[in-house]
Amino acid sequence: MNYRNLITWATLALILVVANVMVMQREILRATGQIILLELAPADPRSMLQGDYMRLNYSLFDDLRDAKPVQSGRIVLKVNPTTRVAKFLRVDNGAPLEKNEIYLNFIRLDWWSYTIGGEAFFFQEGQADFYSQAKFAELRVAASGDSLLFGLRDEDLKLLGETR
């Protein structure tokens, strides 16, 4: 076997290992992450190229804009232990978390825009009316602040649709 083939196979193996580790991390987060619900603000539910989806706009982005963080980082949310609804508390200042508080990572895109990584929820074509009643997004959040969008919930906190 020549070096060119060896390098090709080693690179392919490395890519597969990295991809599998990333998938495994997301599956662990999905299975063990703390469940929080974030209130949604209105957004556009349609994309011509991608099909039906809901562009999520979290109401906590308004609080984050008011806090005016100069860079990306973490915010601290207060989680209602009964409903799991989380509210913006503060930008992380290094103080330890209190009971029922959780970190959530955010990225500042520009002066007015932020992302937490789950701003699009895709659904089957023709289901837009069903998902338009969503008032909360369900996220699974790791202790580090990494999050994964899991589903949408209505005003009674009932899960809309099925999760896969």
Query: Domain extents for the chain?
Result: 1-32, 34-160
Q: Which residue would you say has higher pLDDT here, 97 or 29?
A: 97
pLDDT at 95: 92
pLDDT at 81: 94
The sign of the torsion formed by the CA atoms of 124, 25, 117, 98 equals positive
Range with the lowest mean pLDDT among 24-28, 42-46, 88-92, 101-105? 42-46
pLDDT digits (tens, 9 = 90+) for 11-66: 999 999 999 988 888 888 878 888 888 888 866 555 555 567 778 889 999 998 88
Question: 99 pLDDT exceeds 80?
Answer: yes
In the chain, the amino acid numbered 146 is: D
Question: 119 pLDDT exceeds 60?
Answer: yes
Q: Which residues pair with 129 in a beta bridge?
A: none
Torsion of CA 61, 65, 68, 69, to 10 degrees: 20
pLDDT at 91: 93
